[in-house]
Structure 1
Amino acid sequence: MEITRQPTLGLNITNETRAASHGERASACPVAAVPPVAPIKPALEQIQQALGQMPQVDLEKVATIKAALAAGELVADSATLSASMLAFHRGDDR
């Protein structure tokens, strides 16, 4: 079984955008005022509601792993497992 990284949602807020939203200038460069983006809030609320309805655990994967363990199909190699866990959390793509 392979552990896959889950996509993350992120907003790339630049200094110019942050400053414009506060009525300031981030630098000497001319920057057009950025109006508040009203459609983002309802979209984020919809995403949060959809995520709230999803299970936090992939029950199908759990059942598959339990079945494989019961059948003796999984071999536990602690050295390989720990190396994979460290690589995953470090962001290594091995």
Structure 2
Amino acid sequence: MEPVYSAGDLLFYSRNGHDSVPSDVIGYRCVCEDVDGMGWVKQVKAGDEPGLFHLISLNPTGANMWNMRLKWAARVRLHWPVEFVRKK
């Protein structure tokens, strides 16, 4: 997620269903879960076939993932950097 988001940052998102990738997430930074249960924060792009998605790393040196099947994806709506997060 670096350099856009750092460890300890809080990302806020909302989703309309437990198993959906709405068309309005395409092209945006999203929190998503693949069919294997792995969570990602990536830019979601349309894949080469319906139901497949390219996950583009926010880190220029990070690995992109091509033609992934996702359970769900939701746009990041708000980001609080770690310095604004107070742990109790």
TM bucket by the smaller chain? under 0.3
Relative to total residues, which structure has the larger strand share, 1 or 2?
2
Q: TM-score, normalised by structure 2?
A: 0.18
Q: TM-score, normalised by structure 1?
A: 0.18
Relative to total residues, which structure has the larger helix share, 1 or 2?
1
Higher relative contact order (CA 8 A, sep 6+): 2
